[in-house]
Amino acid sequence: MAPRTYTGITPGRFAAIITEADQKTGLQLNGPSGTASEHGVTLQWQYDAATEILVLHCLAKPWIVSEACVDEKLDALVAGAQEESHDSDRQSPVLPAMRRHSGPG
């Protein structure tokens, strides 16, 4: 499989990607580069904070999973990871929407 390159990945967003990867796949991406395996998937990563470039490369996958599926999952992981914020004043846009629609209905 070809490596996938993502640009504009700030350190905060990379931290969020690490968290998402662990929570959603069990893959533990420790540090700016390395290799991790879980459930038959082996992922190699290289992150450069100075250039804000992240390269993800799936080295192995179960035979039943297509390469296109892996690419889609990697893209979704990166796209879905929001930069971690320690600002207590910021709220998720989902919470107000949930409050608006939580009444009887």
Is the residue at 105 inside a domain? no
User: What tokens does 25 get?
Assistant: 């796949």
pLDDT digits (tens, 9 = 90+) for 73-86: 999 999 988 775 44
Q: What would the pLDDT profile of 10-49 be if each residue is shown by its tens digit?
A: 999 999 999 999 998 899 999 999 999 998 999 999 999 9
CATH of residue 65: 3.30.310
Q: Evaluate if residue 103 carries a pLDDT over 60.
A: no
19 found inside a domain = yes
Say if residues 10 and 3 touch (Cβ distance below 8 Å).
no
CB 27 within 8 A of CB 94: no
- Torsion, Cα 3 70 9 23, to 10 degrees, reads -140
Has residue 11 been placed in a domain?
yes
pLDDT (0 to 100) of residue 79: 92
Separation in Å, CA 51 to CA 6, 7, 85: 11, 8, 21
Say how many domains are in the chain.
Answer: 1
* pTM for this model (two decimals): 0.76
> Is residue 22 assigned to a domain?
yes
Enclosing domain of residue 14: 4-100
Across 6-10, average pLDDT? 96
17 assigned to some structural domain: yes
> Is position 67 within any domain?
yes
